[in-house]
């Protein structure tokens, strides 16, 4: 098939890459869908960030972890998704530096998301399995340190993983107008263990323990007589609240695992079977998780729905809105 100038990304260069050929209808549907996902991701996570930051009742250790996760998801929607939309044309127009920066941010944000999931699991484990000492062990200062260490470790991991690529971003390009990253088997295995297998083994073990303890607590509650339940109503309500939070955050973790599996596992299948479309779908499924998280909060957390109502109706602009009752 003869290649015309309109088929090339950069017709002025002999080694220019070819554009992906799509019908106008197909292109319109793809760009519309991805743009809607991107906009929804940015808006919903921005609402989570504003809610937790603005309302004092939400200034808790658990919500601080949710805030860190929401910031990561917001950056995915604001920085990564628009670039991925541009890549659907098959041409990279932004130069080598932005290419390197794009991959660095992509790997970094995925790594930070995994770290946040681990911290959330540890938080729920302590809250359910060791509630007497939760306020002592899990303090705002320790959570802030944990979040900072998560970002620092992720940045170091990403820098090591992409060390050669960052020095020469075009080292894997086969034509002009391409932005490709290739991870060898050794580095890929380290990344798989460090940011997927290892963390999620920890997460699953912790949540299994949380589940066992939650079931035993539920049974203990059922055997209380009416007088005992009335006497310990505050304690039981607190336990129910903690278990509800554990269930909600458990859903967040499970959804993240489901969205991450294709991204981490399919590359270890037959490489020849993975085309550009499949690779793009893996990335978008991973990024879609950033859009789903705030939807989970909206479904399970009444405080998030109340906060959205106050923010959307502009009542948050009032001077005393930060002390509003949203719980």
Instruction: Give pLDDT tens digits for 15-52.
Output: 888 877 777 788 888 889 999 999 999 999 999 999 99
Residue 226 domain-assigned? no
Residue 149 domain-assigned? yes
DSSP string, 175-207: SBT-------HHHHHHHHIIIIIHHHHHHHHHH
Cα–Cα distance, 181 to 171 (Å, whole number): 9
Cα–Cα distance, 58 to 302 (Å, whole number): 12
106: containing domain: 18-221+234-322
Q: What is the pLDDT of residue 227?
A: 47
Residue 84 domain-assigned? yes
Minimal CA–CA distance to 247: which of 306, 305, 304, 297? 297
Encoded tokens for 56: 């004092």
Residue 2 domain-assigned? no
Q: Could you tell me if 115 and 254 are in contact, meaning their C-beta atoms sit under 8 angstroms apart?
A: no
Residue 100 domain-assigned? yes
Q: What is the pLDDT of residue 229?
A: 47
Angle made by CA atoms 273, 278, 284, in degrees to the nearest 5: 155
C-alpha radius of gyration, the chain, whole number: 23
Residue 8 domain-assigned? no
Q: Could you tell me if 316 and 54 are in contact, meaning their C-beta atoms sit under 8 angstroms apart?
A: yes
Residue 123 domain-assigned? yes
CATH number, domain containing residue 251: 1.20.1070.10
Cα–Cα distance, 321 to 176 (Å, whole number): 54
pTM to 2 decimal places: 0.85
Q: How many CB atoms lie within 10 A of CB 139?
A: 12
Residue 3 domain-assigned? no
Query: Tens-of-pLDDT digits for all 327 residues of the chain?
Result: 555 666 787 887 778 888 777 777 888 888 899 999 999 999 999 999 999 999 888 899 989 999 999 999 999 999 999 988 887 777 888 888 888 999 999 999 999 998 998 998 899 888 888 888 888 889 999 999 999 999 999 999 999 999 888 888 888 888 888 888 888 778 888 888 888 888 888 888 888 888 777 777 666 666 654 445 444 555 555 555 566 666 776 787 788 888 888 877 765 554 444 556 677 788 888 888 888 888 888 777 888 888 888 888 888 888 887 888 887
| Total of domains in the chain | 1
Cα–Cα distance, 120 to 246 (Å, whole number): 9
């Amino acid at each position: 098939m003869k290649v015309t100038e309109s088929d090339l990304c950069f017709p002025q260069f002999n080694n220019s890459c070819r554009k992906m050929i799509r019908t106008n209808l197909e292109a319109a549907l793809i760009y519309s869908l991805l743009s809607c996902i991107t906009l929804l991701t940015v808006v919903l996570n921005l609402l989570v960030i504003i809610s937790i930051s603005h309302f004092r009742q939400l200034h808790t250790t658990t919500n601080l972890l949710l805030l860190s996760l929401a910031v990561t998801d917001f950056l995915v929607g604001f920085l990564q998704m628009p670039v991925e939309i541009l890549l659907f044309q098959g041409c990279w127009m932004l130069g080598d530096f932005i290419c390197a920066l794009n991959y660095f941010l992509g790997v970094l944000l995925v790594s930070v998301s995994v770290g946040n999931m681990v911290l959330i699991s540890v938080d729920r484990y302590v809250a359910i399995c060791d509630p007497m000492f939760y306020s002592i062990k899990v303090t705002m200062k320790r959570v802030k340190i944990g979040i900072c260490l998560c970002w620092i470790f992720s940045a170091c991991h990403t820098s090591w993983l992409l060390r050669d690529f960052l020095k020469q971003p075009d080292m894997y390009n086969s034509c002009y107008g391409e932005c490709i990253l290739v991870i060898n088997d050794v580095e890929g295995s380290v990344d798989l263990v460090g940011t997927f297998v290892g963390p999620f083994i920890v997460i699953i073990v912790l949540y299994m323990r949380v589940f066992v303890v939650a079931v035993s607590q539920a049974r203990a509650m059922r055997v209380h007589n009416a007088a005992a339940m009335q006497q310990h109503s505050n304690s039981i309500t607190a336990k129910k609240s903690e278990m509800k939070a554990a269930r909600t955050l458990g859903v967040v973790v499970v959804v993240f695992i489901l969205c991450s599996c294709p991204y981490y596992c399919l590359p270890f299948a037959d490489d020849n079977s993975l085309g550009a479309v499949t690779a793009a779908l893996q990335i978008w499924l991973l990024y879609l998780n950033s859009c789903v998280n705030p939807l989970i909060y909206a479904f399970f957390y009444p405080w998030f729905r109340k906060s959205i109502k106050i923010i959307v109706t502009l009542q948050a602009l009032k001077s005393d809105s930060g002390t509003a009752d949203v719980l």
